[in-house]
Structure 1
Amino acid sequence: MGLLTPLALLGLGFIAAPILAHLMRRRGIEVRTLPTVALLHRAHAASKRRRQLVDLLLLLVRVLMVALLALAASRPYLPKEAGAIGDEAVNAVFLIDDSHSMRARRAGAGDRGATRIARAIDQALSDLRALPDGSVFSIVRGSAPPEVLLRNSRSLERGERVLRSLREGSSRGPGLERALDLAERSFSQQDHALARHLFIYSDFAAHERADAHRFQDDTRVSLRVFRTDETANRAIVEAGLHRDERSERWIISGRVRSFEGEGASLGLIVRGDGLELMRGETTLDARGEGRFELEFERPARVERLHIELTERGDAIPDDDVVELALMGSPSPRVLIVDGDPRPQRLDSASGFFLTALMSEPDTYRVRIIDEGAFDRSQLEEADIVALLGIPSPNPRLFAEVLEKVKRGGGLLVSLGLRGDPFAYNGLFNPLIRSRFLPAESRRLYGIESIPLGRRDDSPSFGYHYPITSSDTAELLLRSGETVLGAIELVENGRVALFGIPLSDAENDLPYRPIYLPIVLQAMRSIAPPRFERDSIVAGESISLASFFRERQSLTIETPTREKIAVHQSDPAFRRTDQAGVYRLLDGDRTLSEFSAQFSPVEIELSPGPLPTPPETPSEANGRTSEERRDLTPLALSLAALLWFAEGLLRSPRRRPLKRESPARA
């Protein structure tokens, strides 16, 4: 509290007046009690005690009244905080930084200490409830990517619900700089007459670089800074699982970062479903980083695999543990079944086909067998089956191939020179409505790849099987009006039909530049769906479009075991706020996994400079009265109330006379 005229407090000296009056009233002429009136004094003893109490109350009231009058004369005021709300409705925006660094805890608080984000949400809830009636507000999330969570609302209940949903924080990266721009664009345009007020809740860490932002001049800004004494933090900033298929061993490699100096050692533990599998350690270099590679026998069965630091007690315990994806999106396993396998020679179908696949290194894992070796065990280890030049496959085994395709697998069929189109049409019926027609020997010239939008007039074909495609088929190849390739959807999988040999028998297509793109495009079309990336930064969206096919909806299981439905109409999944492994489910079956990691810069907790709020109108004009709350009216009101109370205490209390009733005869 401040005083504009502090000299007026000298008026407090007048407090002595009521005190002296009270003391003088108590002194008087010495009175001696006569025996004849002693009985009357005893009768009035209770009344005298009551009068003494009233006198004390009068003294207190008069002293307070003089003090309040002196205080009112000094013109007291309360200074408002810069950007304070005031009593009039405002157009407010609450910007909440919920990035990973806001999960830091107070020094020595351990896992149960209040995080920065929890304290920020408590303050935001308090500020929200303090908004004057009629205010409109929006809530903006300040981590990357920034987003508006609630726009132009007047519902206090909705605002509190949105704020509480951010209380646990997230693993998302820094986005405060862009969020400031978004926040200033989020003010209600319909309520432009209301004063704009921007609340910012952040630790303003050095990596945010928010100090360069320039606020709009007509916006009042309140900076709510949440920092902790503890800035020392350790973290596993990178970790990945690699499988050695031949030795049945797993390798976990990655790197850690810590505040300890060069040469310090950090311990690591690998756990599977909570049980310890192995231990290791790494040594920090001059930059405070240490790389590790841990190799161990693959567990017989494990659903959850974690790697964690043995040392604890740092600022953010959440980044000391990383969950590893067990499935991921490995390279598809391709099984080539050739009726006349000669993969070492380029003039065979499997040889040309293998050469095309090898043009994209590490994309496919290929195995070639002959028709006689094809059995159920071979089928179980394949994601895509390519039947090249097989006259007529085993009906029972072919039925199992189609069942695998229904679950999301792929099948490629090229009849070659000895294929039986009627046998294949019967085996495909009724799942596939496209049909192979009997072989023709008339020569065709030129070929067009429909998906690629490319045409090559050089190739010629002497022996081929025309295809009658259904209305649901995707055309793959065409020579003139003759369809030579099509792709059919079979529930959740796909089948590619080629009416030409994939070798150089009766055609010269394998020697043309268009051959590789045709084969690779067909393989991409029938390959089981996979994520473009196995690992993303928390907060990024990831597309599930390739997984839907005939499915209308899928389910994502988050690291917190929450299950979220994703529909084909909007196949992007955006709720990747927490670091960990996300599982894609079709019912109870896991289709694939991907992991979300926190941004490595977020483990740095060093404080950065604060942005500079714009000057308030009073500061710009060199005046300060607009930033004060005048308390003079309050002091005068209280003095008037005491004056009224003093009058009540001084007024004599008259008792009604009691009349005795006449005695009865």
Structure 2
Amino acid sequence: MSFGLLTPLFLAGLAALAIPVLVHLVRREERASFAFPSLMFLRSIPVHEHRRRTIRHWWLLILRCLIIALLSLAFAKPFIEWPTDIVGAVSKSRDRVVLLDRSRSMRSGSRWNDALQAAGEAIDALAGGDRAALVLFDYDTLLAQKMTPDRAALRAALSSVQPSDGHTDLMGAIARAGALLEQSDATRREIVLISDFQRSAMASAETAPIAPRIAPGINIIARPITGAVVANAAVAAVKVARKALGAGDAVELTARIVNTSGLPLDDVDLVMEVAGQERERLSLSLAAGESRDASFRLVLAPDEVLPVRLSLSDDALAADNDFHLVVSGPTAIATLLIEDRGAPMEKGLHLQEALRQGDAPGFRITSRFVSQLRESDIDDADVIVINDAPIPSGSLGDRLRGFIESGGGVLVVAGGRTQGAWPNGDEGIVPGQLGAPVTRSESNAARLVRMNTLHPALAAFAGGDGGDLAAAQIFRYRALTGVDEKAVLARYDDESVAVAERVVGHGRVLVVTTT
């Protein structure tokens, strides 16, 4: 160990130590003066005075000199030079994260065994004092072994890992490894990235909105895993399209088949199995890197549900050969439409026609006048619409309440004929009390404002994709009072309630105050 100065010229400032010494020597003591009435009677006698200059305040002088000496030394920038063997030992300290890709593509050919070998070599390369961590990644990351200098523990963790069926999130994995090393104080910090660098992973990395943040000084060492060149095809996606066919649906399944290898594929079998039975088989040939669509057709009866499996013949990577899905026939919501016999016929026809436009799902409509309504009609319904008609009471009202509490839905379209004496308290069903009709002139039509498009009932109108309800002109509506503010889904421009909701048991009641 030796001592040195980076700027030794500043030691010339030690000459300033003479300043406090001179100050202490030159300083004169103050003399006392005495008043004397007259000097005229005194004879002048020449006197020779000899004064000795001495330092009296030694501690103050030493303190002043010490301050000047320390300032000069500080500007000279002293340093200590350590022996080279100690520096070499410090510079060799290293923290390493072994980042191992375990995504589905690593199952292909010999890739996984090659990746395990590369990870083992990265662990064995650790020297004394080095540490390492083992991180596995696919679409997520898993810390298999935390940072440790114990190579045996790292080897044990490596021996227990297996490839997964997930896709690859390369950027997320690098960010996780960088976070592990960010707090490290080692001289060398490294990420050993072991992956096949599949094209889809690299493409997603290039289009990632935010690149991973890696602290300065962290080096990424890539270890590409190629394995033997083998042919492989995958069922990448399946698109489902349906058309009405009588009471059922004709369903077309379009599978996207991709050759993920650099070799051509000939006579690859694509099989559709329905409920475990082979239904249809196609033969495909694909050039290197080519993708192709293959279609199958099914006919399903109403409410029929079938499990379907699309599979390719065996190849280098069996994990991407199968695609499972469940296909259902047309489903319809049983809708009970309650109307008043005295209402205009076209009012009910308009509503029924609007419901018939729905196909995902459809509506199976049963229309009843209030006087024809039976308890079995309520029991068979999924949704009940009271379209400008009196609200059922008595035993039918009790059955309707039970229907709602068990999870049913009721829509009350409140026109002039909608009447009912249901309570509005804790035992009530309707969200508020219906009042008298409000009429607006043509020049002062009401408009909908403050619509809660986060509610499922109005979500279709968010962003204007489902139409602009705010542009509709409304000339007549029913007053609805006593509604909790949280239950209001829409209001008119005069702050009157347009749509309100009430939760009853497991079901819901919606009231629309205009027809």
Where 1:459 maps in the other structure, the secondary structure is coil
Deviations 1:411-466, CA, capped at 9 Å, x for gaps: 3112322122314x48x9626473223x31454663443325996796333x5242
Where 1:101 maps in the other structure, the secondary structure is helix
Task: Give 1:272-291 correspondences, 5 Å limit.
Answer: 272=275, 275-276=276-277, 278-284=279-285, 287=290, 289-291=292-294
> Is 2:460 the counterpart of 1:449?
no
Where 1:421 maps in the other structure, the secondary structure is coil
Is the contact between residue 178 and residue 215 of structure 2 (CA under 8 Å) also seen in structure 1?
no
- Mapped partners of 1:366, 1:284: distance in 2: 44
Hey, what does 1:459 align to over in structure 2? 474
Residue of 437, 440, 458 corresponding to 2:436: 440
Where 1:167 maps in the other structure, the secondary structure is coil
> Is 2:74 the counterpart of 1:94?
no
Hey, what does 1:238 align to over in structure 2? 237
Is the contact between residue 241 and residue 251 of structure 1 (CA under 8 Å) also seen in structure 2?
yes
1:140 positional shift: 5.5
Hey, what does 1:388 align to over in structure 2? 387
Is the contact between residue 250 and residue 295 of structure 1 (CA under 8 Å) also seen in structure 2?
yes
Structure 1 residues 122, 404: closer, same or farther in 2, change over 3 A?
A: farther
> Is 2:303 the counterpart of 1:294?
no
Counterpart AA for 1:102: M
Task: Give 1:228-267 correspondences, 5 Å limit.
Answer: 228-240=227-239, 246-248=246-248, 251=251, 253-257=253-257, 264=267, 266-267=269-270
Is the contact between residue 189 and residue 218 of structure 2 (CA under 8 Å) also seen in structure 1?
yes
Counterpart AA for 2:94: V
> Is 2:373 the counterpart of 1:370?
no
- Mapped partners of 2:449, 2:113: distance in 1: 58
- Mapped partners of 1:305, 1:402: distance in 2: 41
Hey, what does 1:46 align to over in structure 2? none
Deviations 1:203-245, CA, capped at 9 Å, x for gaps: 1334544999999984444433333325311222232556657
Hey, what does 2:16 align to over in structure 1? none
Hey, what does 1:489 align to over in structure 2? 503
Residue of 159, 163, 168 corresponding to 1:168: 163
1:201 positional shift: 1.4
Kindly name which structure, 1 or 2, has the bigger radius of gyration based on alpha carbons: 2
- Mapped partners of 1:161, 1:394: distance in 2: 73
Where 1:351 maps in the other structure, the secondary structure is helix
- Mapped partners of 2:291, 2:128: distance in 1: 52
Is the contact between residue 240 and residue 254 of structure 2 (CA under 8 Å) also seen in structure 1?
no
Hey, what does 1:196 align to over in structure 2? 189
Where 1:182 maps in the other structure, the secondary structure is helix
Structure 1 residues 431, 284: closer, same or farther in 2, change over 3 A?
A: farther
- Mapped partners of 1:377, 1:245: distance in 2: 30
Structure 1 residues 271, 452: closer, same or farther in 2, change over 3 A?
A: closer
Counterpart AA for 2:514: P
Is the contact between residue 91 and residue 195 of structure 1 (CA under 8 Å) also seen in structure 2?
yes
- Mapped partners of 2:386, 2:311: distance in 1: 46
Hey, what does 2:273 align to over in structure 1? 270
1:202 positional shift: 0.7
Structure 1 residues 247, 414: closer, same or farther in 2, change over 3 A?
A: closer
Is the contact between residue 271 and residue 277 of structure 1 (CA under 8 Å) also seen in structure 2?
yes
> Is 2:107 the counterpart of 1:103?
yes
Deviations 1:259-295, CA, capped at 9 Å, x for gaps: 59698462413142xx315233254577452412132
Deviations 1:52-107, CA, capped at 9 Å, x for gaps: xxxxxxxxxxxxxxxxxxxxxxxxxxxxxxxxxx995433233232333222134x
Hey, what does 1:227 align to over in structure 2? 226
> Is 2:319 the counterpart of 1:306?
no
Structure 1 residues 217, 284: closer, same or farther in 2, change over 3 A?
A: same
Is the contact between residue 384 and residue 411 of structure 1 (CA under 8 Å) also seen in structure 2?
yes
Residue of 483, 497, 501 corresponding to 2:514: 501
Is the contact between residue 90 and residue 136 of structure 1 (CA under 8 Å) also seen in structure 2?
yes
Structure 1 residues 129, 400: closer, same or farther in 2, change over 3 A?
A: farther
1:324 positional shift: 0.3
Q: Structure 2: 5+ residue runs without aligned partners?
A: 1-89, 454-468
Hey, what does 1:430 align to over in structure 2? 427
Deviations 1:633-658, CA, capped at 9 Å, x for gaps: xxxxxxxxxxxxxxxxxxxxxxxxxx
TM-score, structure 2 normalization = 0.58
- Note the aligned Cα RMSD (angstroms): 5.1
Residue of 479, 484, 494 corresponding to 1:470: 484
Is the contact between residue 92 and residue 196 of structure 1 (CA under 8 Å) also seen in structure 2?
yes
Hey, what does 1:319 align to over in structure 2? 320
- Mapped partners of 2:334, 2:505: distance in 1: 20
Hey, what does 2:57 align to over in structure 1? none
Is the contact between residue 201 and residue 224 of structure 1 (CA under 8 Å) also seen in structure 2?
yes
Is the contact between residue 251 and residue 298 of structure 2 (CA under 8 Å) also seen in structure 1?
yes
Task: Give 1:131-170 correspondences, 5 Å limit.
Answer: 142-144=137-139, 153-154=147-148, 167-170=162-165
Task: Give 1:614-625 correspondences, 5 Å limit.
Answer: none
- Mapped partners of 1:168, 1:241: distance in 2: 30
Structure 1 residues 458, 252: closer, same or farther in 2, change over 3 A?
A: closer
Question: Which of 152-161 and 256-265 deviates more?
Answer: 152-161
Deviations 1:127-161, CA, capped at 9 Å, x for gaps: 558756776656666545x6575897559799889
Q: Structure 1: 5+ residue runs without aligned partners?
A: 1-85, 107-115, 503-665
- Mapped partners of 2:403, 2:291: distance in 1: 49
- Mapped partners of 1:429, 1:155: distance in 2: 67
Is the contact between residue 135 and residue 177 of structure 2 (CA under 8 Å) also seen in structure 1?
no
Structure 1 residues 415, 101: closer, same or farther in 2, change over 3 A?
A: same
Counterpart AA for 2:333: R
Hey, what does 1:480 align to over in structure 2? 494
- Mapped partners of 2:145, 2:509: distance in 1: 48
Is the contact between residue 140 and residue 179 of structure 1 (CA under 8 Å) also seen in structure 2?
no
1:199 positional shift: 1.2
Deviations 1:291-346, CA, capped at 9 Å, x for gaps: 1213256699867542323x22x011122221103469x9883726141599998x
Structure 1 residues 102, 289: closer, same or farther in 2, change over 3 A?
A: same
- Mapped partners of 2:392, 2:405: distance in 1: 18
- Mapped partners of 1:322, 1:363: distance in 2: 24
Is the contact between residue 270 and residue 305 of structure 1 (CA under 8 Å) also seen in structure 2?
yes
Is the contact between residue 196 and residue 219 of structure 1 (CA under 8 Å) also seen in structure 2?
yes
* Number of aligned positions between the proteins: 392
Where 1:188 maps in the other structure, the secondary structure is helix
- Mapped partners of 1:252, 1:91: distance in 2: 55
The percentage of counterpart residues that share the same residue type is 18
Structure 1 residues 180, 332: closer, same or farther in 2, change over 3 A?
A: same
